[in-house]
Amino acid sequence: MKLIKIATIALAMMSAFAQAEIKNDYLSNVRPQITFNELSRADKQTLAEQAQLFLRDLYVNRYAKDIYYGNSPDWNKGHVNPADAVQKVINNIDKLSTAQLHAQLSQIFINQRDLHLNYNFPLPHAAFLSFLPINFARTANGAELNEVRIDRVYANYFDALLPSLRKPEVGDQVLEYAGLPVKQAVNNVLINGAGANLYGGFSRAIQYMTLVPQSGKLPPANDRVLIKLRSAKTGEVYSIDLPWLVQYDDAALENKAATASTKSLTDKAFAQSIEGYQEQYNQFVSRNTAESDIQGFSKNTTAEPTIKWAIVPKGEKRLGYISLSSFVPANPDQAVNIIYNLLHNQLAKTDALIIDVRNNGGGYISYADKLPQLFKPGKASTGSARLLNTKLNNQFLNQDDFRQYWPEWVKLINDAAKTKNTYSKTGVFTSAEDANALGQAYYKPVGVLANARSYSATDLFTCQMQDNGAATIYGEDPSTGAGGANVLEHGFFAELGPDWFKPLPDGVSMRVSWRQSVRGGYNPNTIIEDYGCQADVNVPRTLSDLANGDQTQFDKIAADLLAKPVTKSGYQFTGLVGNIIEQKEGNNTLDIQVAETELIKVYIDNQLFETQTVYAYGSPKTVRISLPRKPLGQIYQIGIVGADAGQVALWNTKRLVQVKAQ
């Protein structure tokens, strides 16, 4: 069948796509183009040996995976010891074609069920994305917690490419997939979905059943899939025989693999935790559908596209809402400031707040580390991380670049080398000072809404909010996606460690979970990988949520969150104060009203300046705080902490102060 280009499809279809150069066709037509360039024996050897280095000497979760999943004798059926499995590939390398080599190495990575661990195929294979014009979702119905239903229908594909097929409707229940009962079908693809734990595995499996990017996975084995469904409206049972479709960009097929410079020890290069498949999934959905808001309210945009907010009336109360669709903003520090300002201004008078991080694949760890402080009366703690104690890690980190820029990690691996411990001791990505630089900005109950596709840095954020006692975790699934590691590209190691790492041939790339995340606070010494962050309150989606844009789920969360007690302790500046307080030259005092607070502590540039016992009980009490004498134009930070009789923090605020002329 002739290739169909979006620009030539019906006008109704054009509005669904953002890029006119993207092409669509049937997998049956395009399959011959989804190929690999032939590799020499030397290139095959390089790929296998570099994969072995990654999996044996750098992959920090390898032993934890052995404990959690056990080992399967068959690399194609379950978790395997990755180093041993790659050694078998090396032993048989002369018998393997290029396609077989790629397939086996990829499967070994996938079998670890770690979405931070990736073997990424080269072009032209990587240019293609196979999909069905529907998506699945998990719903709950009474005792049945794992229904599979249609969550999204890409109607324009049916109209343009599949006009003779019955178009399913959102909410229709999936009974069979590829001739198997749906639960058996899900179980059969758990490994290829690569999700961790029960719910992460289930969620990723049903994603994989409708969207398969050839950047990291082989195309579906069959050109079509038969799906039996039950209509949500009528109860009628019917079947559709869907062809797999393919989306790709001609320009990508013409490009040669680029080797980007990765020699950077910045936060962006060194402290990322992001899951690529979820980002691809989100981009596909965004590219092919109009954004839909939760029914009943629309979201306001900000200068950072990944941050949106709303205020939702609920009876006499007002519920604040912040959506974080990604932890990869254009500027992480600016993103934190946007949220800080929303909390201090637009959302300040709401009665509770929901932070929605569903389907957020992660991003910058420092961004996640800096948010809990905005909701915690006392000092917020961050998670930590540790390295695998191997000779290669020791050699790699003991280079001049790391000694200069990351001496704390060099010390950790050197100390570990003197022991027989499996891991180094833990270090942090964000200092305690940076993680508490802004202070508390919201003082009402907070909830975080997450699901099994909340992964990587989003796992870290959700766990840190729980570990700091800063929020109630509401789970669309009982746990987050359980991706607990800092991830780095092979190119990073190859450029900074050419003595051990060789450039990968033909544009292949690999990623590895390098430093394992460890929780603190209320869950000390617990790893996130495979376990995730367990929900405090389960709020699974139901059939009604698919029909009303998750309004049923949202109302449950709102009712629970707004019923929580609100602290009576707090403060209020007596005059109009923004983020910067103006101190008139010669005036060295500041008045605030304090409620239900025993004492206050005043910090100037993080140094204790004054302590007052205020006994502010009953009616609010005006308290006069001393300010330091500073020269005209000077800017400094003031921190004020309200505490109880046991000196436990009840609230805090940090503001900049600028000395101005009278």
CATH 3.90.226.10 fits 273-381+430-484+532-562, yes or no: yes
Q: Where are the beta strands (DSSP E) in 118-275?
A: 118-120, 128-131, 134-141, 144-153, 173-177, 180-181, 211-213, 224-230, 237-243, 245-249, 272-274
**388-434 residue pLDDT tens:** 999 999 999 999 999 999 999 999 999 999 999 999 999 999 999 99
Helix (H) or strand (E) holding 407: helix 407-417
- Tell me if 352 sits within 8 A of 445, measured CB to CB: yes
Between CA 378 and CA 388, with CA 382 as vertex, the angle to 5 degrees is: 155
Classify residue 591 by burial, with Cβ atoms within 10 Å: 0-12, 13-18, 19+.
exposed
- In this prediction, residue 278 carries a pLDDT of 85
**Six token digits for residue 38:** 């032939």
| pLDDT reading at 203 higher than 70 | yes
Provide the residue type at 598 as one letter: E
| pLDDT reading at 259 higher than 70 | no
CA dist 160 and 26 (Å) reads 12
Instruction: Give me the phi and psi of 195, to 5 degrees please.
Output: -75, 150
- Tell me if 486 sits within 8 A of 385, measured CB to CB: yes
- In this prediction, residue 260 carries a pLDDT of 39
- Tokens 């293609």 appear where? 128
CB atoms within 10 A of CB 619: 7
Q: Shortest CA distance to 245 belongs to which of 27, 485, 552, 519?
A: 27
CA dist 380 and 430 (Å) reads 11
- Tell me if 426 sits within 8 A of 528, measured CB to CB: no
Question: Mean pLDDT over residues 515-523, rounded?
Answer: 96
Reduced to 3 states, what is the DSSP secondary structure of residue 157? helix
Measured over the CA atoms of residue 299, residue 301, residue 306 and residue 308, the dihedral's sign is negative
Residue 653's DSSP bridge partners are 640
pLDDT band, very low/low/confident/very high, at 294 (cuts 50, 70, 90)? low
| pLDDT reading at 20 higher than 70 | no
- Tell me if 57 sits within 8 A of 393, measured CB to CB: yes
Helix (H) or strand (E) holding 488: strand 485-489
Question: Mean pLDDT over residues 448-458, rounded?
Answer: 96
Helix (H) or strand (E) holding 158: helix 155-161
**Six token digits for residue 221:** 């084995």
Domains of the chain by residue range: 41-126, 132-212+220-250, 273-381+430-484+532-562, 570-660
What single DSSP character describes residue 351? S
- In this prediction, residue 76 carries a pLDDT of 59
Question: Mean pLDDT over residues 56-72, rounded?
Answer: 91
Classify residue 94 by burial, with Cβ atoms within 10 Å: 0-12, 13-18, 19+.
exposed
The CATH fold of domain 132-212+220-250: Pdz3 Domain (2.30.42)
| pLDDT reading at 175 higher than 70 | yes
| pLDDT reading at 89 higher than 80 | yes
Question: Mean pLDDT over residues 278-297, rounded?
Answer: 75
User: Measuring CA to CA, how many Å separate 420 from each of 273, 385, 389?
Assistant: 28, 18, 8
Considering only CA atoms, give the Rg of the chain.
27
pLDDT band, very low/low/confident/very high, at 474 (cuts 50, 70, 90)? very high
The CATH fold of domain 570-660: Immunoglobulin-like (2.60.40)
Q: Shortest CA distance to 361 belongs to which of 553, 620, 118, 658?
A: 118
What are the residues whose beta carbons fall under 8 Å from the beta carbon of 563, sequence distance 6 or more? none
Least confident interval from 277-281, 311-315, 431-435: 277-281
Q: What is the separation, in whole angstroms, between the first and last Cα of the chain?
A: 80
**523-562 residue pLDDT tens:** 999 999 999 999 999 999 999 999 999 999 999 999 999 9
| CA 33 to chain CA centroid, nearest Å | 33
- In this prediction, residue 284 carries a pLDDT of 87
Packed helices 276-288 and 197-208: angle between N→C axes, nearest 10 degrees: 40
| pLDDT reading at 10 higher than 80 | no
pLDDT band, very low/low/confident/very high, at 57 (cuts 50, 70, 90)? very high
- Tell me if 209 sits within 8 A of 136, measured CB to CB: yes
- Tokens 């942090």 appear where? 428
pLDDT band, very low/low/confident/very high, at 75 (cuts 50, 70, 90)? low
- Tokens 């990988």 appear where? 529
Q: Where are the beta strands (DSSP E) in 445-484?
A: 446-450, 472-475
- Tell me if 225 sits within 8 A of 178, measured CB to CB: yes
What single DSSP character describes residue 31? G
Categorise residue 483: left if φ over 0, alpha if ψ from -120 to 50, beta otherwise.
beta
